[in-house]
Amino acid sequence: MQHFRRSLTRSLLASAGMLALAAPLAAETVKLTLLGVGDVYNFEEEDGRGGFARLNAVALAERAANPNTLYLFNGDMLSPSLISGFDMGQNTIDFTNLVPFDLAVPGNHEFDFGPENFIEKMKASKYPWAAINITNADGSPIEGLGGVTVKEVGGLKVALIPVAQDTSPEVSSTGSLKFLPTVDTGIEAAKAAREAGADIVVGVVQTNMENDRALMASRAFDVILSGDDHTYATAYDGVTAYVETSVDAQLLTPIDLTVEIGEDDGKRTISWTPAFRFIDTANVTPDPASAALADSFRAKMDETLNVEIGTLEAPLDSRRNVVRSAEATMGNLIADAMRDATGADIAIMNGGGIRGDTTYEAGAKLTRRDILTELPFGNVTVVTELPGSQVLLALENGASQVEKGAGRFAQVSGVSYTIDPTAEPGSRVSEVMVGGAPLEADKVYTVAVNDYIIGGGDGYDALGGGRVLTEGSTSRLVANDVMAYVEKLGTVKTGVEGRIKILGQ
């Protein structure tokens, strides 16, 4: 009997032991907060929203509320802004150094003043920059620019996949830097991070929504925080949580992930659910230290820029959708100023270089601030000699993506032309007239442009190869040419004159 009891006891103990071994460990719950932001250009608020003082206040509050917070930047701050024309974006580094990011990804505008300036600003940052798809021309890594970054947060391994916009060489001044494909490189890195043991995979990307959808469809990411489109959006398809992070920090959405860490059959398991929180920064009290820094910048700028230079007899329009798709009065004024300053036969200004995105009423006084707000990139006016055949190719490039509202759209002076947006790109431009006469393919014309597009920016390869008549970087700023032209006119009455005719409109 005693033997039976001992055997039963051993059996019960053994069974209990087996049950203990088979039973999963109690799940651990971790709350992870991800705050993404991008496309923050202006240190000041607009209509009571956005700006660095409010952004910094939100970031400080999120970190105080949850130590398991990652604050992530997905591109574009060094340019363009009014003040960046003076300090090449240093003001944005000063503001973000007050409340540093956990990781920052360079956007295309980080290279508007050249790669050397970006590297200088990266070194001045009190936070790391990273991008897995940017290298030197020979494929070697850029010193100081990191790659996939794994953060240990609340017991979680969070892999941050930093991906830049692969079209940056077309729209900015990236020099000899090499950009690998955004989507393919990002997906490959995300899958590798998962295989290496990451619990949560977060894409911190600067790319358009079409690419965002491709990244989501890969199911390689848990979260994607994306910039570049200047819009606000959230989505969740049951696999990937997504935020398109607005512009100038006007609208913010922290994502709270409730993460369950468990074990199944001896393997670590991770499951999570997202909660999206909407923050309208109109309701945010600015961070005092950041607000004080903004006040100091504002005072310096006001002294220099609030100088009236001319009066408008007719309204001016620099709205983004207009300067990128049709003849715009602001485009006419800028191109006229470039041609007046140089005596060139033709002037071409890419619509994407006009950044005011506003209207000016008749009777308004134009100031230096207005012109530098419209032209914040610090580009210079360059004059080159080109045959009419290349001028036509340049105009075709400007019209090639008109339906997309691309920045390459050509605002002009001294030339008129017609666009058929339904024709194939490269065959859209007709009826080109220069000085009242038809464009001649073999005739050489002097063409005033900015240094960005003569270098091939915005797809303007056709502007290269000619004899340059100015001294490049020592030429006058486009903004200075416009200010001098407005002062010369005194009263500005630029209108829409039929320089660009678009069929169907």
CA terminus-to-terminus distance, the chain: 102
pLDDT band of 26, cuts 50, 70, 90:
low
Provide, rounded to the nearest whole percent, the portion of the chain with pLDDT above 90.
85
Cis peptide before 162 (omega within 30 of 0): no
d(CA 284, CA 275): 20
Q: Each residue of 457-498: pLDDT tens digit?
A: 999 999 999 999 985 433 578 998 999 999 999 999 999 999
Domain residue extents for the chain: 28-296, 306-502
- What distance in Å separates the CA atoms of residue 224 and residue 47, rounded to the nearest whole number? 29
Burial of 168 (0-12, 13-18, 19+ CB in 10 A): buried
Burial of residue 355, with CB atoms counted within 10 A of its CB: 0-12 exposed, 13-18 middle, 19 or more buried: buried
pLDDT at 25 over 70: no
Interstrand relation of 145-146 and 129-130 (parallel, antiparallel or unpaired): parallel
Task: Please tell us whether the domain made up of 306-502 is placed in CATH 3.40.50.300.
Answer: no
Q: Please state whether beta strands 156-163 and 200-206 pair in parallel, antiparallel, or not at all (unpaired).
A: parallel
Confidence tier at 38 by pLDDT (50, 70, 90):
very high
CATH of region 28-296: 3.60.21.10
| 94: exposed, middle or buried (Cβ count in 10 Å: 0-12, 13-18, 19+) | middle
State residue 303's pLDDT score.
Answer: 86
Count of CB atoms situated within 10 Å of the CB of 421: 16
**Dist. CA 420–CA 316, nearest whole Å:** 25
Residue 11: which pLDDT band, with cuts at 50, 70 and 90?
Answer: very low
Please tell me the distance from the alpha carbon of residue 423 to that of residue 326, in angstroms, as a whole number.
16
Name the DSSP class of 258.
E
Q: Model confidence over 132-177: pLDDT tens digits? A: 999 999 999 999 999 999 999 999 999 999 999 999 998 888 999 9
pLDDT digits (tens, 9 = 90+) for 405-419: 999 999 999 999 999
- 8-state DSSP, 285: P
What tens digit of pLDDT does each residue of 217-259 get?
Answer: 999 999 999 999 999 999 999 999 999 999 999 999 999 999 9
DSSP secondary structure, 387-415, as one string: EHHHHHHHHHHHHTTGGGT-TT-EEEESE
Of the chain, the percentage scoring pLDDT greater than 70 comes to 94
Tokens encoding 33: 């907060």
pLDDT at 309 over 90: yes
- pLDDT for 20 equals 41
CB atoms within 10 A of CB 400: 21
Cβ neighbours of 117 (radius 10 Å): 18
Q: b/e string for 276-311 if b means 16 or more Cβ within 10 A?
A: eeebebeebebbeebbebbeebeeebeeebeeebbb
Q: For residue 239, give both structure tokens.
A: 């696999």
Position 173 scores a pLDDT of 87
Within the chain, what is the greatest distance between any pair of CA atoms? 119
User: CA 388 → CA 222, 298, 385, 447, distances in Å?
Assistant: 52, 46, 10, 10
Would you state the pLDDT for residue 14?
39
Q: Write the pLDDT tens digit of every residue in 379-397.
A: 889 999 999 999 999 999 9
Mapped to the 3 state alphabet, what secondary structure does 317-372 carry? Answer: ECCHHHHCCCCCHHHHHHHHHHHHHHCCCEEEEEHHHCCCCCEECCCCEEEHHHHH
> Is pLDDT at 304 greater than 50 in this prediction?
yes
In which residue are the tokens 């008129």 written? 416
| Secondary structure string (H, E, C) spanning 143-209 | CCEECCEEEEECCEEEEEEEECCCCHHHHCCCCCCEECCHHHHHHHHHHHHHHCCCCEEEEEEECCH
Q: Burial of 210 by CB count in 10 Å (0-12 exposed, 13-18 middle, 19+ buried)? A: exposed
Q: Are 454 and 384 in contact (CB under 8 A)?
A: yes
Q: pLDDT averaged over the chain?
A: 92
Question: 1-15, 175-189, 269-283, 461-475: lowest mean pLDDT where?
Answer: 1-15
pLDDT score for 477: 85
pTM, entire model: 0.74
Residues 116 and 149 sit within 8 Å (Cβ to Cβ): no
Residue of 20 and 433 predicted with greater confidence: 433
Q: For residues 75 and 207, give the distance between their C-alpha atoms in angstroms, rounded to a whole number.
A: 9
The closest of 65, 147, 70, 77 to 102, measured between CA atoms, is: 70
